[in-house]
Structure 1
């Protein structure tokens, strides 16, 4: 039985890039974490140590910094497309490039009600993400966000589920529903206004969560993905991972106190994890394998 080399890739992970755009006294900040993964003719470096086909990961890191200087950053999807295309088109031995970018947002401080020109504070708890993959003939873009924590203090139920000899969970028609939204959406093309698309997709995710009377977190997941697809024609597919951040009603009867869904214990683990994909049935490249 022969032993062969299977699928492989390599790259420089988590290059921390902070780019300051200086427009006179007024500055803008882009704060990114950039990871590159390349694939191609890498058999010899694995089998014999011949590195003739290898673009050093240090070079990949330098390219990230140089592109920020030479071309600016702009939207992270656009920056990822420039990098991925460069790595494949400039090196015959590189056949695929995946660039994953996390963006950490900053907001301008104010002094006496006036926006400060060059002073900022980190804003938001969620992280904006983008993953661009290019194989020499086509590119696809996946945008998203991670750790957007949301909570409904009511309008959530959970009942009618399977019960067996190990079931102790009580049915409820009024519970806290909380999650940390991890969402990614694939665009139908690489053209468009990524800033507007991100802002609108985020808005529709949040509004669907808030407006859905939930009988299950699965139902909420589908409603969130459906809302995005119904309102954003440039998006072909939405994938969501929603951890159920359980809130358990505390039994205060030992203290002769009633607890009408007012006092909860917020448990961090274990937790339910609900994952799913929502897409148009005729979406281009439906079922396309996304790079993680």
Structure 2
């Protein structure tokens, strides 16, 4: 029986990096979780244990910290710098992927003014993934853990039923989810901060002003709003867990419940996923995700 080595990669996962920019007017915190993954001519290390072509994962970690000394900037920009460095300076490496999570810190307000060096952690995590193969760079921006809720304006009825279906139809329900979204840029140059702000705003606006008949419909409306607002985005993928809120039966206590008291269930939950794609956009396949 013939066997061969399949696809492989290696890297350093979850390098925690915090940079403080100490401007006189007020400090700024950049808080990142950086993971690197390298692929290329690595047969020897797998088949014979010859490590001459392997850039140690510890070196990858050190590179993240060393590059931060010159400044981080936007996560997409930092990821591009790292990915290009690994491919362009290591002969055996032909593809580098850098995934970044940026945790948001906002300066605390005191007497109506932002504090000089005091911060509070803000909701939601910004993400970026950069893949570079020596010629082309694919940039994917995104966010996760952005929890949103509509207390009305959501329905779910008319669904298929079989003998195991017990779910009652709903014409007015709470709709809540924790948004994970990733959108791919058509180029590797952009105003990353502005693009992220526009995309985040579009996601929130579409969630708020879509009268939802299903979470699938809301997902599509959110993705469509992001792409229509930014022509340089090629596609967006969303993952929306349905954070169920069930009306509590208060009748055993001789109390009514006119849509005011709910039980928030954490599991199991529906998980709705999908993507919206711009016609004609170049498609690098699944590898860039």
Q: Name the TM tier (shorter chain).
A: over 0.9
Q: Which residue of 2 aligns with 1:172?
A: 170
In the TM superposition, what are the counterparts of 1:15-94 in structure 2 within 5 Å?
A: 15-24=15-24, 26-70=26-70, 72-94=71-93
**Deviation for aligned residue 1:109:** 2.1
Shift of 1:111: 3.5
Tell me, in whole angstroms, the C-alpha distance in 1 between the residues paired with 2:54 and 2:223: 40
Pick from 147, 163, 171 the counterpart of residue 161 of structure 2: 163
Give the direction of change, closer, same or farther, for the CA distance of 1:290–1:211 in structure 2 (3 Å limit): farther
Structure 1 runs, 4 residues or longer, greater than 3 Å off: 110-114
Secondary structure of the residue aligned to 2:31 is: strand
User: Matched residues in 1 for 2:110 and 2:170: separation?
Assistant: 49
CA shift, 1:256, in A, is 1.8
Equivalent residue runs for 1:180-191 within 5 Å? 180-191=178-189
Unaligned residue ranges in structure 1 (runs of 5+): none
Aligned to 2:172, the other structure's residue is in SS state coil
Aligned to 1:241: 239
- Pick the aligned partner of 1:204 from 202, 205, 208: 202
The 5 A counterparts of 1:211-250 are 211-250=209-248
Deviations 1:143-170 (A, max 9, x none): 0000100000111000111111000000
1:26 positional shift: 2.9
Contact 1:25 1:118 in 2 (8 A): no
Residue 25 of structure 1: how far off its partner (Å): 6.1
CA–CA separation in structure 1 for the residues paired with 2:56 and 2:68: 19
Q: SS in structure 2 opposite 1:36? A: strand
| Kept in 2: contact 1:110–1:116 (CA 8 A) | yes
1:288 aligns with 2:288: no
Deviates more, 1:103-112 or 1:32-41: 103-112
Contact 2:36 2:97 in 1 (8 A): yes
**For 2:248 and 2:118, how far apart are their aligned partners in 1?**
44
Q: Deviations over 1:237-262 (max 9, x none)?
A: 01000000001111111112221211
Give me the whole-angstrom Cα distance separating, in 2, the residues matched to 1:238 and 1:25.
37
The CA deviation at 1:110 is: 3.2
Residue 100 of structure 2 aligns with which residue?
101
When normalised by structure 2's length, the TM-score is 0.97
Q: Tell me the secondary structure at the aligned position of residue 92 of structure 1.
A: coil
In structure 1, C-alpha distance between the alignment counterparts of 2:162 and 2:43, rounded to whole Å: 52
When the two chains are superposed, the root-mean-square deviation of aligned CA atoms in Å is 1.2
After alignment, is 83-92 or 20-29 more displaced? 20-29
Paired position in structure 2 for 1:8: 8
3-state SS of paired residue (1:12): coil
How many residues are treated as equivalent by the alignment? 289
Say whether the 8 Å CA contact 2:138–2:288 is kept in structure 1: no
Inter-partner Cα distance in structure 2 for 1:282 and 1:113: 49
Displacement after TM superposition at 1:205 (Å): 0.3
Q: Deviation per CA, 1:118-177: give whole Å up to 9, x if none.
A: 2222122x1100000001110010000001000001110001111110000000100010
